[in-house]
Amino acid sequence: MTNWCMFAFTPNVDILHMSYMRILSGIQPSGVLHIGNYFGMMRPAIALQAEGEAFYFIADYHALTSVRDPTMLRENSRRVALDFLACGLDPERAALFQQSDVPQVTELAWILSAVAPMGLLERSHSYKDKLARGLAATVGLFNYPVLMAADILIYDSDVVPVGKDQKQHIEITRDLAVKMNETFGSEPDGWIFKLPEPRIQAATEVVPGIDGQKMSKSYGNNIDIFGDEKETRKRVMSIVTDSAPVEAPKDPSGSTIFQLYSLVASKDEVAEVREQFQKGGTGYGEFKKQLFEKLWEHFAPMRKRREEMLADRSYIDNVLARGAERANEVADQVMKRVRSAVGLR
Ligand code: AMP
Ligand code: TRP
């Protein structure tokens, strides 16, 4: 689908002078957040909150496809909210809410599933990856991209900041939006959905874990954002390297240590460490120590903010309640349009 269609179906919006942009992203509360989540999704999302109206949510319906413990789901959801706020999400600028506080999204997912071609979902990488990792082949897991499309479309989202692994899901969302527009939209102004764009940061599209593979909770190679000091140090010190001896020159480009260091150090510091790698004479153990120091320092202000927020339990509840209110306002409007377009009352 080309941009032409987006222009054709987008109503009352002067694209050339568009200063308003709605930004949306979600994160599953299926475990503790790691620095791959931070650099891949949270930091770009936080940076974007100043550029438009942002909606960020905790994808608890999605997490039901893998979490089977209700206490854990509730605790993780709260913790993700806390961590996201501690990392700089500003609830005055962005609505933060739980996905299940907007249950209309499951209605939209059903409507979308009525037009979603099986073949489109059968091509989903993430479904195949999840089965390969041992998750049960449930209908919910298969239908996951349809619910994600509903998440995005129900807020008329323009931009979706995510890591690279979510790119195909945004493509599926666009395909479903086009399908709905073609099936139920009556031209010239009978559009139903906008076509959202993914926003993927090239520099952090895949943050490596301590074994050099993509960092992921399910691979056990994660460094957590708010892990304790001892554990974080241990994780950094166990980053896998080649066996080059201290005196040998080392290749920074293939090094997980160097890649992670580049995320947290200044330009000059990165240039200096690059030179140390290439020159030889410094062992990987030393580089790991430098990386740990930088990482620990990078997240220090966020740890402090997190401690402060922990002291006030009602703060997070209030933020989530306000976020849900705003999200419901928009979702209700969009669902009115959708229900009318497809022939529901
Ligand atoms: P997940 O924990 O898989 O639900 O991911 C939440 C968000 O973090 C998604 O936008 C992912 O694309 C992003 N993300 C997760 N792991 C990484 C990684 N290793 N590198 C970059 N982005 C990531
Ligand atoms: N699938 C995303 C992940 O695993 C989470 C998610 C659910 C999401 N709905 C979304 C992300 C909508 C962006 C937009 O990371």
Domain boundaries along the sequence of the chain: 3-206+313-342, 227-298
What pLDDT is stored for residue 313 in this prediction?
83
* 206 CB within 6 A, ligand 1: yes
Rounded distance between C-alpha atoms, residue 206 and residue 162, angstroms: 11
Looking at the CA of 217, which ligand is closest?
Answer: 1
Burial letters for 197-207: b for 16+ Cβ neighbours within 10 Å, e otherwise?
A: ebbbbeebebb
Q: How remote is the CA of residue 169 from the centroid of ligand 2, in Å?
A: 8
What pLDDT is stored for residue 174 in this prediction?
98
Q: To test ligand 1's pocket by mutation, which of 165, 200, 223 has the most ligand atoms within 8 angstroms of CB?
A: 165
Q: Quote the pTM value.
A: 0.91
Q: How remote is the CA of residue 195 from the centroid of ligand 2, in Å?
A: 16
User: Exposed, middle or buried by CB within 10 Å (0-12, 13-18, 19+), for 265?
Assistant: buried
Closest ligand 1 atom to the C-alpha of 31? 2
**Which residue, among 208, 313, 303, has the nearest Cα to 259 in the 3D structure?**
208
List C-alpha distances in Å: 37 to 40, 215, 318.
Answer: 5, 9, 24
What pLDDT is stored for residue 12 in this prediction?
42
* 216 CB within 6 A, ligand 1: yes
What pLDDT is stored for residue 199 in this prediction?
95
Task: Please give the backbone phi and psi of residue 190, each rounded to the nearest 5 degrees, phi first.
Answer: -95, 35
What pLDDT is stored for residue 189 in this prediction?
64
Per-residue pLDDT of the chain (345 residues; tens, 9 = 90+): 333 344 344 444 444 444 589 999 999 999 999 999 999 999 999 999 999 999 999 999 999 999 999 999 999 999 999 999 999 999 999 999 999 999 999 999 999 999 999 999 999 999 999 999 899 999 999 999 999 999 999 999 999 999 999 999 999 999 999 999 999 987 666 689 999 999 998 888 899 999 999 999 888 999 999 999 999 999 999 999 999 999 999 999 999 999 999 999 999 999 999 999 999 999 999 999 999 999 999 999 999 999 999 999 899 999 999 999 999 999 999 999 999 999 998
Name the fold adopted by 227-298. Tyrosyl-Transfer RNA Synthetase (1.10.240)
Closest ligand 1 atom to the C-alpha of 215? 19
Rounded distance between C-alpha atoms, residue 175 and residue 331, angstroms: 20
What pLDDT is stored for residue 10 in this prediction?
43
Was domain 3-206+313-342 assigned CATH 1.10.3720.10?
no
- The conformation of residue 38, written as its DSSP 8-state character, comes to I
Q: Which residues are catalytic?
A: 130, 214, 217
Closest ligand 2 atom to the C-alpha of 59? 7
Q: How many CB atoms lie within 10 A of CB 189?
A: 10
Find all residues with CB under 8 Å of 47, minimum gap 6, and list them: none
